[in-house]
Structure 1
Amino acid sequence: MDEKEIPKKLRDKEENLSEETKSLIAALPSDIDGYGIKIFKYQGCWYDNQRLHSILNYQVGFQPQETDIVVASYPKSGTTWLKALTFTLLQPLRHPLDDHHHPVLNHNPHELVLFLEEIYRNSSIPDLQKLSASPRLFSTHMPLHILKVPFKDDSPCKIVYVCRNVKDVLVSLWLFKKSWLGKNVGVEKCTLEVLFDYFCRGVALYGPFWEHVLSYWRGSLEDPEHVLFMRYEELKTEPHAQIKRLAKFLGCPFTEEEEKSGNVDKILELCALRNLSGLEINKTGTWKTGVGFKSFFRRGEVGDSKNYLTPEMEARIDMIIDEKLKGSGLKF
């Protein structure tokens, strides 16, 4: 079965989506990832059963609006931080920055900007009434070619993608899994060395990493008005310039008066990882999936992977990434 036929088949039989999806997933190429979880290859990337079911629901049922904004990333690339920044930039009239009841102070960013994979987990027609405000703000870990299946030429959503150095992503993924899965789902057996090997082979959730990044990189070159490619490292080293770049892309650039009044600094301080991690909600709260919010905050430092990867591991992944990105114009 040609994988590209799946979305059309699902559209033709939406009334039997659940059973149809199960059948289609079973027909896809499959493998076992480093945690012992069965994953399926759909249109070039890997997903577990639950996420693939959500993605197929999304591709069938999502009705994009021209004002929609999607925050996208490969897992552990700065998603939580970018969600907080994007949400705050879009809320100046509803939630003043000096408001002690500002949503960012009382909610985890993943509660404020829901994943499309979460919204479409159980249905292709979920209730989106609570997202009726314009612009609607979503997030995803889907690569661009998967995300854009429901898009129409007359309803181009704006997409903000954050990319992070592959070595820091890998280490952050491993530590994140350890922090909340504990002894479950094969975590004890999945050492950093094991995860590294699977990652280098591209057999990882939402991977291969390079295909994911390249999908958004190429999208940003082809359509810079609707796809913004950001780098985590630049957000860390030049936050003022990057947040102004983000605000301009979102259609809410800082006015001269706002800059003079210190709004750029206020937003950066409000959304700083050190501030977010110290909030009560993020120290004690729990996501509906059972993940403690504190698991989404670690050191967030650039180059921390050097404390975990051997020189041989670094050399191997550098060689792979150089080969995969060759000719694209994208470099780490």
Structure 2
Amino acid sequence: MSLLKKCLAFGVVVAVLLAALSVAGGYYWATRPLVLSSPTLDVTIQPRSTVRGVAAQLNRGGVPVEPAPFAWMTRVLGLQSRLKSGNYEFKTGVTPYEVLQKLALGDVNESVVTVIEGWTFKRMRAEFDANPALKHDTAGMSDAALLAAIGASSVQEAHGADSADPAVATNAEGLFFPDTYLFDKGTSDLNVYRRAYGLMQQRLAAAWSTRAPGLPYRTPYEALTMASLIEKETGRASDRPLVSAVFANRLRIGMPLQTDPAVIYGLGESYDGHLRKRDLQQDTPYNTYMRRGLPPTPIALPGVASLQAALNPAPTSALYFVSRGDGSSVFSDTLGDHNRAVDKYIRGQQ
């Protein structure tokens, strides 16, 4: 073999050895656990970051990946365009390869906040305020300021209400959809409020578009108010359309709704858990014993079932209902039948 051929063969062998060493070194680096600055770390990767930008953000967050090997591994695996932004949780023992896979899969560290059907907006705000994963940008804001901050229109503009009362125009009650919301840690609470508001707009519009004919509601907002009454009156699915029908029938003939949940809402902080005769005689805008028609705003956050029931009541002429005490109700067309049901289920008479 000539000297030139020997040199070429030697060069090939060296190149192969160097490549093997490089692969071995890369594998060793990629699978070696990282020494984190804390046992558990939350690191946020910003949108539209380059691979080296991602590496820099990881390092700033306490996850010490070396930028050059990290970029090499990303390129070799063909993941350059698949790294996703978001908040990620990393724990002791994680390797550079596992970090990369987590980012490529978008395995973000999502947190959750749940809003329950029938909650008031005040209760919803308390839940958001107590959630440690949210960034509390609404701290100190009034409800009206919060609505403005999320770009919500006034009640009149958003839902067709025609009240001239400024307090009604900026009232947030009922405008947010009760649901479970996932979000990245550190997300502004305004973002979640905005999503809940938008979702209620969608759900209300969908229900309004499929409403039964001849309902006594001029606007979607009035239907939303009715849905909140239904939400608080019963949790039984089969009773919701019947409760809706009773209230609609009463509205048509000008009969007071006489719904206790509205009275309780109007009492506010003075309500101590017991509704008394004097409470029913205390005049507030929400006292549906003393005032005819709907209350001025919703009294709670209604769910889909109550929205649909409000806009598609059962075909009945019933004007009364009373609880059986087991979650269901007895519905009556006449006052005489209603009084007999009250005697049986409330007064314990047969």
TM-score range, shorter chain: under 0.3
Higher gyration radius (CA): 2
Structure having greater relative contact order (Cα 8 Å, sep ≥ 6): 1
